[in-house]
Amino acid sequence: MSWSHGYVADIPYTAHYHPQQSPDVLALACLLNRTESPLPARRDDLTYVEFGCGRGRTALCLAASNPGWRVIGLDLLPAHIAEARALAAEAGIANVEFMEADLVTFDPTMLPEFDIASAHGFWSWVADPVRDGLVRVLAARLRAGGLLHLSYNALPGWQGAIGLQRLLLEAGDRIGGRSDRRAAGALELAQALRAAGAMHLEASQPSGLIDRAKSVSPSYLSHEYMNRFWRPCFQADVQDALEPARLDFVGSAELLENFPELVLTAEQRAVCDRIDEPRLRELTRDLCMPRPLRSDVYVRGARLMSRDVQEQALRELVLCLTRLPDEVIYALKTATGTATLSPDFFRPAVSALADGPRKVGDLLSATGQIGSAVDLVGLLVGSGQAVVVGRPDAEADPDSGAVRHNRAIAAHILRGDPAQSGLASIRLGAGLVCDPDTMVAAVQAAETGDTRRPGAAPPDGRRPIWQHAGVLS
Ligand SMILES: C[S@@+](CC[C@H](N)C(=O)[O-])C[C@H]1O[C@@H](n2cnc3c(N)ncnc32)[C@H](O)[C@@H]1O
HEC string of 268-297 equals HHHHHCCCCCHHHHHHHHHHHCCCCEEEEE
- The two beta strands, 47-51 and 70-75, are parallel
**pLDDT, tens digit, for every residue of 98-108?**
999 999 999 99
**pLDDT of 469 above 90:** no
> CA 448, CA 84: separation in Å to the nearest integer?
28
Q: What count of other Cβ atoms lies within 10 Å of the Cβ of residue 188?
A: 12
pLDDT mean over 333-351:
89
Q: Could you tell me if the CB of 226 is within 6 A of ligand 1?
A: no
pLDDT tens profile 63-83 = 999 999 999 999 999 999 999
Asked if pLDDT for residue 450 goes beyond 90, the answer is no
Instruction: For the chain, count helices (H), then strands (E).
Output: 19, 14
Does ligand 1 lie within 6 Å of residue 137's CB atom?
A: no
| CA contacts within 13 A on the Cβ side of 254 | 16
168-192 confidence digits (pLDDT tens): 999 999 999 999 999 999 999 998 9
Strands 70-75 and 96-100: parallel
Q: What is the dihedral of CA 228, 233, 239, 245, to 10 degrees?
A: 20
User: What is the percent of the chain with per-residue pLDDT over 70, rounded to a whole number?
Assistant: 94
Angle between helices 307-316 and 373-382 (to 10 degrees): 50
Find how far residue 300's CA is from the centre of its chain.
20
Cβ pair 40, 27 in contact under 8 A: yes
Measured CA to CA, the distance from residue 35 to residue 27 in angstroms comes to 9
Whole-number Å distance between alpha carbons of 375 and 378:
5
Indicate which atom in ligand 1 lies nearest the CA of residue 5. Answer: 19
Taking the CA of residue 103 as reference, the ligand 1 atom at the shortest distance is: 20
CB 154 within 8 A of CB 293: yes
Q: What is the DSSP letter of 126?
A: S
C-beta 57 within 6 A of ligand 1: no
DSSP state of 154: B
The angle formed by the CA atoms of residues 154, 158 and 162, to the nearest 5 degrees, is: 115
Q: Say whether 328 sits in a helix, a strand or coil.
A: coil
- Give the model's pLDDT for residue 208: 72
Q: What is the pLDDT of residue 369?
A: 77
pLDDT score at 201: 87
Q: How far is the centre of ligand 1, averaged over its atoms, from the C-alpha of 53 (Å)?
A: 6
* Angle at the Cα of 421 from the Cα atoms of 415 and 427, rounded to 5 degrees: 120
Amino acid symbol at 276: D
Closest atom of ligand 1 to CA, residue 120: 6
For residue 470, the CA-to-ligand 1 centroid distance in Å is 34
In the reported structure, the alpha carbon of residue 54 is separated from the centroid of ligand 1 by a whole-number distance in angstroms of 5
Domains of the chain, start order:
19-156+231-300 (3.40.50.150), 161-225 (no CATH)
Using 50, 70 and 90 to split pLDDT, how confident is the model at 386?
very high
Query: Cβ neighbours of residue 43 under 8 Å, at least 6 residues apart?
Result: 390, 391, 429
* Residue 88: partners with Cβ closer than 8 Å, 6 or more residues away: 56, 60, 63, 96, 98
Q: What is the pLDDT of residues 219-258, one digit of tens each?
A: 999 999 999 999 999 999 999 999 999 999 999 999 999 9
The whole-number pLDDT of residue 119 equals: 98
Residue 428 has pLDDT above 60, yes or no: yes
DSSP lists the bridge partners of residue 249 as 298
**Phi/psi of residue 271, nearest 5 degrees:** -80, -50
* Confidence band of 419 (pLDDT split at 50, 70, 90): confident
State yes or no: pLDDT of 455 exceeds 60. Answer: no
Q: What backbone phi and psi angles, to 5 degrees, belong to 440?
A: -65, -45
pLDDT digits (tens, 9 = 90+) for 81-99: 999 999 999 999 999 999 9
CA distance 79 to 58: 16
Whether the per-residue pLDDT at 204 is higher than 60: the answer is no
CA–CA separation, 46 and 70 (whole Å): 6
- The dihedral formed by the CA atoms of 306, 25, 255 and 330, expressed in degrees to the nearest 10: 110
Separation of alpha carbons 23 and 59, rounded Å: 11
